[in-house]
Every structure is written in structure tokens, then in C-alpha cells.
A and B are shown apart, each in its own frame.
Chain A
Amino acid sequence: MHSTLVRAQNVFGFFTTVAFCTALLTALSVLLTPQTPSATIELRNVQVVKGRPHYYSPKKEEYAHIKFDLDADFTSLFNWNTKQLFVWITATYPPANTSSSAHPSQAIIWDTIVNSHSQSHPFNPFKFFEKAPLSTKKPQKSTPTKKQEPRLRPGIVRLKNSKPKYQITDISGLLSDCVNVTLEVGWNVQPWVGALTWTLPEGMQLGRWKGVKGGKSKVFNMPALKGKSANSEPVVASSGTPKAAEASAVL
């Protein structure tokens, strides 16, 4: 500590240690806040159509277009250290060749990023040093809107009859008449400092964190290919297949 340079080095060195310890405390403090996420997901409509992965592809595949309702409450996942939340919905279905050992296939049909309050409203101490606007009209306009805007807790996701973001297909290219499909909600909490945390399945508990309540749809079956009969055999088989599609969509 005898010269300026040595003092600067020592102060900075100890500052990094303090910053690390504060970050560690912040990351661990997340465990104190209880988490009770809940989600209800229901199938609205499902269609299977033929399509191509891209315009010039000679390969034709079957694509499932799944419409759904989502009513989720993830507000408890937002604590002071949460930066953003990534939410997604997967469709899980057993593999085409039903060998019992094979894992079920999963495909994401919808996802979104939910920003926390601290992410969408960054706090900057330098704004206190900024000069107030000189014109008198602007603050009059801006102040009432600021007062009206309540500090909402983000994390409520409500979707009614939502279209999927992604139309899914299987690696085999065949998806029609696939049975035992379920929709599941998953999430990933991204903190400012600390570890990423993923979906806690229903029934699991980790300290004060509870697993998701609900979060799975009822089992449903994929309908037959839409318009298959109309394309290949326009007259004969048209009576049978559309009815089957309608029936399975109600499930």
C-alpha cells in the first residue's frame, strides 16, 4: 500500500472478491422465495396436413397444427433476481415404431419470453442527474400515464385458442393417426446472477419450490391427414376420413 499503483491494485482486487461474494449471496437468496407455479393447458383443435420443409424440397412431410388454450400463473417464479422467463409447450408422443424401450418424442409447438419488471424497466441512477425537460407541456402529458401504470407482477400467461408458433413434424415424416399425444408446459428461469433453473415436474419439491400444478393436457390422438382423400381419391373415401378427424379433435 506504499504507492498509488499498489493501492489501486489492492482496492480493485478486494473489490472483485466482494463483488463475487455479493453475487453468491444474491444467487442463494433465490432459494428463500417460495415458488408455486400452476398451469392449465387444453387442446383446442389439431390438424395434420402435408407440406414441405422448405420451398424447393422434393420431400413431403406431415405437419401437425395444434391449437391450444393456456392459463398459467408463473408470478411466483419472478423474484428480485429473475431477469426473464422462457416458457414453452411441448407435444409429447410415443415413437412411430412402438418398441417399448424407445423414448417418447418431444417437439415444441409454442414458446415465449416473459420479461421481469427489472428487465423491462431498468433502473439507472444517472437519470437523477439528468436535467428536467424544459418545456412545460411534456411532463404534464407523461406524468398521468406513469401514475396510471401499475407495477404489475409479470408471469400470468393466458392464451385462448392460440395458434402454434411452430408446426411440428416427426423424423419419420409421418404424424397422422399418432396416438397418446400430450401437451406439456415447460419453463426456464434466467436470473441476473446465479444458476438457470428449469421446470420442476408436478409432485416434486425442492426446498420452498413446489413443482408445477397441472401443466399437462389430456391425452389425445392425432387425426388422419386432412384432405388426403380429397387429393388422391376425390369421390370414394371422402365420407369416412373427415369424420374421424373431427372426432379426434374434440378429445
Chain B
Amino acid sequence: MADDLLQQAQELFEGQIDFEGQKKTELVSTIILAVSGLLAFILGFVQQNIYVTLWVGLSGAAIAFLVVVPPYPFYNMSPEKWLPKGSGMAGSGIEIDGRRIN
């Protein structure tokens, strides 16, 4: 019971996502930050107001944090299909230096 709770807390803290999710977060964070930086400069320059640049850039960063950092379920849509437990042991086994290890 206590172990389960502890494991849940650990998972919540670590917030791990699958490989596809990692690919997505990489792409999404890069796009949001780069676009918001460029938009910040353009909007500020057009309006001739440096504060627009500052706040557009900062809000873009805040959005990137909110979108990417928490482990949303859509970053865990394609979990890795591991081999079933004990499937590899009986037949092939692992060979090291010609000796079969079970």
C-alpha cells in the first residue's frame, strides 16, 4: 500500500513520457519559442514599443513551459511494446563466450 503510493508520487514527480512524446515536446518547444521570439521583435518594431517585445517574448516562454513541461496524456499515446516477461529466456537465451546463460 505504502509502496504503491510512493511509486505514484515518484511517477507524478518525474513525469516521464514515451519516445514519441519526447519527439513531440522537442518540436513543439522549439517552434513556440522561436516563433514567439520573432513575433516579439516584429510586433515591437511595428508598434515602436519595446515593452511589447518584452511581454510577447515572456508570454511565449510561459506558454512553452505550460505546453511542454507537464506530462500530458497526449505525450504518452504510443507506449513502447516491450517483449512479454520471460519470453526470451526459455528458447534462445543469451550467449557469452560460447556459454549459454540462463
A residues within 8 Å of B by Cβ?
1-5, 7-8, 10-12, 14-15, 18-19, 21-22, 25-26, 29, 79-81, 118, 122-125, 192-193
B68–A118 touching, CB < 8 Å: no
Shortest B41–chain A CB gap in Å is: 5
8 CB < 8 A contacts A-B: A1-B22, A4-B15, A12-B65, A18-B57, A22-B38, A80-B44, A123-B51, A123-B55
Please, how many angstroms separate the alpha-carbon atoms of A17 and B35 in the complex?
Answer: 13
Chain B residues near A122 (CB-CB < 8 A): 51
Contact in complex: A18, B36 (CB < 8 Å): yes
Contact between B25 and A1, CB atoms less than 8 A apart: yes
A3 touches B14 (CB 8 A): yes
Contact with A along B57-97 (1 / 0, CB 8 A): 10001001100111100000000000000000000000000
The CA-CA distance from A15 to B29 in the complex, in Å, is: 9
User: How many positions in chain B have a CB within 8 Å of any CB in the partner chain?
Assistant: 35
A15: chain B residues within 8 A (beta carbon): 33, 61, 64
Quick one: which of B29, B40, B52 contacts A11, CB cutoff 8 A? Answer: B29
Whether, in the assembled complex, B8 has its beta carbon less than 8 Å from a beta carbon of chain A, the answer is: no
- Give Cα distance in the complex from A8 to B64, angstroms: 10
Contact of B69 among A4, A18, A80 (CB under 8 A): A4
